């Protein structure tokens, strides 16, 4: 048995449910899922199937109604400090980049390190290195309105890496991009996983985008669909 196969999972989800509207809406209905460290997993399914809800729970942006979620050494259903968890473990990438339009690309990445122990000069140097890594080292002074959609999303990826996360959660990261920018961002995700060993969990409605991942998990009606079931 290989060393990789005996390593503990990076993410474990057991019996997770999420109910809204005083019990009238069940977004998740007993989800079980295990993701290994360094794995790139795509979660797909029709609108309203619960995939974005699940990602929000994994990032501690919301809490489950029932069930157990573990990410690394954190048990999220018993989490006391969600901000600390996200600072130490998580990078977030959204469909719409959520950059601050009045700040340069460099400052948008730097701002993610506020509160860290890095001195200001070290934060700047690290942010410059991240922007160079995502292919934007020549555009560090540009503000988001001066960048293309694909460039803005690459700034968002650099920002997600600013706290050196062990896992990236991406919610429809290519949903607003053209085909060329989609390809650039997906190749960037692959490279980050290979070069940094980052675990990536990506929600997407696009089966072609999901195909880039190591494994695709299909959701339907708040549950994980059995393997081989229609998507």
CATH number, domain of 27, equals 3.40.50.300
- Write down the pLDDT at residue 173: 87
Q: In terms of residue numbers, what domain contains 9?
A: 3-224
Total of domains in the chain: 1
- Write down the pLDDT at residue 14: 94
CA 105/CA 86 separation, integer angstroms: 21
- Write down the pLDDT at residue 4: 47
In a domain, 16, yes or no: yes
Give the pLDDT band of residue 196 (cuts 50, 70, 90).
confident
Neighbour-count burial for 96-106, b at 16+ CB within 10 Å, e otherwise: ebebeeeebbb
| Tokens 């990536």 belong to residue | 200
In a domain, 91, yes or no: yes
* pTM check: above 0.85: yes
In a domain, 205, yes or no: yes
In a domain, 197, yes or no: yes
In a domain, 230, yes or no: no
* Residue closest to 56 by CA, chosen among 84, 92, 100: 92
In a domain, 231, yes or no: no
pLDDT of 34 higher than 90: yes
Give 44's strand partners: 218
In a domain, 29, yes or no: yes
- By percentage, how much of the chain surpasses pLDDT 70? 96
In a domain, 198, yes or no: yes
**Stretch 55-75: mean pLDDT:** 91
């Amino acid at each position: 048995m290989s060393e990789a196969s005996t390593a503990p999972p990076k993410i474990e989800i057991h019996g997770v449910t999420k109910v809204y509207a005083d019990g009238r809406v069940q977004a998740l209905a007993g989800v079980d899922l295990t993701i290994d460290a360094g794995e790139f997993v795509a979660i797909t399914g029709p609108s309203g199937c619960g995939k974005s809800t699940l990602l929000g729970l994994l990032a501690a942006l919301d809490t489950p109604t029932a069930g157990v979620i573990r990410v690394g050494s954190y048990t999220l259903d018993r989490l006391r400090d969600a901000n600390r968890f996200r600072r130490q473990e998580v990078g977030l990438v959204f469909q719409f980049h959520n950059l601050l339009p009045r700040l340069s690309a460099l400052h948008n990445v730097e701002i993610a390190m506020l509160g860290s122990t890095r001195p200001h000069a070290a934060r700047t140097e690290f942010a410059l290195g991240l922007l160079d890594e995502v292919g934007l080292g020549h555009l560090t002074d540009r503000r988001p309105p001066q960048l293309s959609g694909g460039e803005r999303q690459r700034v968002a990826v650099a920002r997600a890496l600013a706290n050196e996360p062990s896992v990236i959660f991406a919610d429809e990261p290519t949903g607003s991009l053209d085909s060329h920018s989609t390809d650039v961002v997906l190749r960037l995700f692959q490279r980050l996983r290979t070069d940094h060993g980052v675990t990536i969990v990506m929600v997407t409605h696009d089966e072609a985008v999901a195909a880039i991942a190591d494994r695709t998990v299909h959701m339907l009606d708040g549950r994980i669909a059995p393997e081989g079931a229609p998507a």
